[in-house]
Structure 1
Amino acid sequence: MKTGTLLDTRRATTDCVPLDQRLAFWEQYNASTLVGLRCSSYSETGFAASEDNLSLESMRVAHIVGNEHVIERDGSMIRAVPKASVFVSLVTGSASFFFQNGNCHLLEPGELMVYRTDKPYLFGFSGPMHKFIFDIPQEVFASHCLSRFETALKISAHTGTQRLLMRTLAERTRGFFEQPLSQDAGNYQDDSLELLGNIIAGQVGQRRINALSASYLLAAKQCIMEQLADPTLSCERIAAQTGVSTRHLARLFALEDTKPHRFIMEKRLQRAYRLLNSEQVRGLDISEVAYRQGFTSQAHFARAFKAHYGQTPSEVRAIALEKL
């Protein structure tokens, strides 16, 4: 089992709250942590729920378990507790329904609901509920998923590719909540946003890829992410570990309009940028940052970083140190 520092997890549960105070407690907690809402319970035994919340660099993730209830975010709540995010709810447990903009969606366990929090909505659960919520700022959602998003989107796993991607998202999210290590947070966030981008693009018809190709591509990306710090990492090695030829590997990445070596470079630069903006940068010089991400030349790292981010590593590090 991995060891390291765990992310701070905010947790709320109604277990020790008197029955007549649980709804008010739940509304207050969510207004301060996730989103302002009103909650109604139709359970004969009273409302019961628990929630875990993790804050990552560019998004938040919540894990919620509860019994049958309905939540509502109306116009008055939007004005009182504004929030400009896109929520992606991965619903398991019992069937549920979602209403927004005059449209009602019936959801079966395992389906996704994508919706904006600056528009009124109603979400109801007819029995024991269990869901993950990906709380993504609208500008982050626009850059990773859909550039324009106005109408709520229900996503079902009708194809093998969607089933694979959604199952992978659920498994990685479940595993991360079980052990939310700080050193894994950046990779988990990047993986989740990439998976969500592929899932949503597949739903709206912007990306065509079959289940077999998707599985090989996921495997290749996982191999790359596990070996980014190795300067000898090569496309030939990744192809061999994935079980495909280098030519087939190139075709897989071409499905996403990129190339294996470009993907490796972008992920190394993203990790370097995250490190330069973190508290870990204290006491590190630029050459150490470059080395940790698999670069053998500081000059090459500096040129690639400047071309990608428009700032030098030293400039980003200096700004970060001023804020610490």
Structure 2
Amino acid sequence: MKHPPRQITRWFRSDDTLDSQGNFQSYLTILSNEIHCPAIRCRYVFDVQHCAPAKHKPFRYRLRISNSMQSIMTYQHVSAYTSCHQLSESSSEHYVLLQYVLKGHLTLTVKGRSFDLTRGTFCLRDPSEQCVYVTHQDIEMVSLLVPNDYFFAHAGFHTSTFLGHVFKPTSTSCRLFHRLMALTNEELNHVDARDLDNICDGLLCFLRPVLNEYARTVADTSLSTRDRLRTRAIDAMQKCLDKPGTQCRDIADKVGVSVRYLSDLFRDIGTTPMRHLMRLRLERAGAYLHEQHLTDASVEEIALANGFASSAHFCRAFKIHFGTTPLQWKRNGPVKQPN
């Protein structure tokens, strides 16, 4: 049986024989039809009544779309335009989009809120939300689209805290990430197809200190005491996902609160500490089952790496949470969004 290629990079360019409107329609069609990979089964939908190239100059584009098993990295060098679009997700699949500007100025509007991306800045957003792009000049940008569970497994955070925030290269961690993104884009044409998944893994791992820095700032300035303590508890959980004997007492001790108070913190968000820990373990395990460098790992090894004392316990919990078995998930991909 033939297996699909692990990674494909394709270039698309504007056609000099077409006018601006013709090239713009071609550009939208490519984005709508070519953004897909084994882990991302969706497409961009454009509100064509609110999409148009700028009138002051011809519309031209260069697109590079690199599809791996788990991610889609897109490079765009595009003339000024306006577009309104969103990703069509099913109820069982959710994604996160990292949008990074190499050159130019992009204004995004999501849910009535506008924010600007300029050179060296990036944001994380939910691509299923309708977004309006406006550029008044040529722009170069890189986008990385990945499943939510894959993002969590490598970046170490759920995205809800960061959606819509513009990250600027003002700190050491942000500047390093800026250099890494720029270098990755420059070298992607020379990357072996077998290495793209590992490069995306590394990019998201390198993003972790940037997100951690921002999360600390948010916790210090805008969260209540209970929210800050809950954030610390979740951080403690993330550091012990591979330890099967972890109990409420262990988490409470790391946060400096009683077990009862810890339970109250999680009751505020409709769960318990141990249920939340189980969710974190299962989501990371789900991502691990699709990791290219873990293709030879058994279900037992995945279970152990995520804090389950036995594969039987892991399989039962996985089936309840995802609606499928670990082996079916590994073969066929996600079929149900975690509860």
Question: The TM-score by the shorter chain falls in which range?
Answer: 0.5 to 0.7
Q: 1:207 to 1:60 in 2, by over 3 A?
A: farther
Distance 1:103 1:46, change over 3 A: same
SS at match of 1:307: helix
Mapping for residues 286-305 of structure 1, pairs under 5 Å = none
Q: Deviations over 1:148-199 (max 9, x none)?
A: 5274221111212211222223213432x22131232232021012123332
- 1:179 aligned residue: 190
Identify if the C-alpha distance between structure 1 residues 139 and 304 changes in structure 2 by more than 3 Å, giving closer, same or farther. Answer: closer
- Which residue of structure 2 aligns with residue 70 of structure 1? 82
Cα pair 1:114 1:153 within 8 Å, conserved: yes
Q: For each residue in 1:221-246, what CA deviation from the matched residue of structure 2 results, as whole angstroms up to 9, or x when unmatched?
A: xxxxxxxxxxxxxxxxxxxxxxxxxx
Provide the rounded CA distance (Å) in 2 between the counterparts of 1:161 and 1:25.
38
In the aligned structure 1, how far is the partner of 2:89 from the partner of 2:292?
Answer: 34
Alignment partner of 2:212 out of 178, 201, 208:
201
2:201 alignment counterpart: 190
1:196-275 superposed matches below 5 A: 196-205=207-216, 257=239, 274=292
- Partners of 1:179 and 1:54 in 2: how far apart? 12
Asked if 2 retains the 8 angstrom alpha-carbon contact of 1:155 and 1:200, the reply is no
Residue 155 of structure 1 is matched in structure 2 by 167
Measured in 2, the distance between the counterparts of 1:319 and 1:139 equals 17
Q: Does 1:10 align with 2:7?
A: no
CA distance in 1, matches of 2:291, 2:88: 34
Residue of structure 2 equivalent to 1:36: 45
**Distance in 1 separating the partners of 2:330 and 2:214:** 42
CA contact (8 A) 1:73 1:121 kept: yes
| 1:73-124 superposed Cα distances (whole Å, 9 cap, x missing partner) | 26xx8599x9842211110211221111221112221100221111111122
Given that residues 173 and 209 in structure 2 are in contact (C-alpha distance below 8 angstroms), is that contact kept between their aligned partners in structure 1?
Answer: no
TM-fit CA distance, 1:15: 2.7
Name the structure 2 match of 1:307.
304
TM-score, length of structure 2 as denominator length: 0.57
- Bigger Cα displacement from structure 2, 32-41 vs 45-54: 32-41
RMSD value over aligned CA atoms? 4.1
Residue type of the partner of 1:10? Answer: R
2:134 matches 1:116: no
* Structure 2 CA distance for partners of 1:202 and 1:45, relative to 1, 3 Å: same
Where do residues 164-175 of structure 1 align in structure 2 (5 Å cutoff)?
Answer: 164-175=176-187
| Cα pair distance change 1:322/1:109, threshold 3 Å | closer
Instruction: Show CA shifts across 1:14-39 (max 9, x none).
Output: 13451131122111111112322343
The residue type equivalent to 1:50 in the other structure is R
Letter in 2 for 1:11: W
Whether contact under 8 Å (1:59, 1:135) holds in the other structure is: yes
Letter in 1 for 2:61: A
**The 10-residue stretch of structure 1 (48-57 or 160-169) with the greater mean CA deviation from structure 2:** 160-169
Label 1:305 to 1:42 Cα distance change in 2 as closer, same or farther (>3 A): closer
Which residue does 1:93 correspond to in 2?
Answer: 103
Q: SS at the partner of 1:58?
A: coil
Q: Secondary structure at the match of 1:88?
A: strand
Question: Who is 2:257 aligned against?
Answer: none
* C-alpha deviation, 1:57, in angstroms: 2.2
Letter in 1 for 2:193: S
Work out whether residues 101 and 142 of structure 2, in 8 Å CA contact, stay in contact via their aligned partners in 1: yes
Rounded to whole Å, the distance in 1 between the matches of 2:290 and 2:148 is 24
Q: Give secondary structure in 2 for the equivalent of 1:203.
A: helix
Taking a change above 3 Å as real, the CA distance of residues 84 and 302 of structure 1, as seen in their structure-2 partners, is closer
Residues of 1 paired with 2:192 and 2:17: CA distance? 30
Secondary structure of the 1:92 match is: strand
C-alpha distance in 2 between matches for 1:304 and 1:139: 19
The structure-2 alpha-carbon separation of the partners of 1:192 and 1:24, relative to structure 1 and needing over 3 Å to count, comes to same
Q: What is the match of residue 225 of structure 1?
A: none
Amino acid at match of 1:85: Y
- Specify the code of the residue in structure 1 equivalent to 2:23: R
**Between Structure 1 and Structure 2, how many residues are aligned?**
236
- Aligned pair in 2 of structure 1 residues 121, 275: CA closer, same or farther (>3 Å)? closer
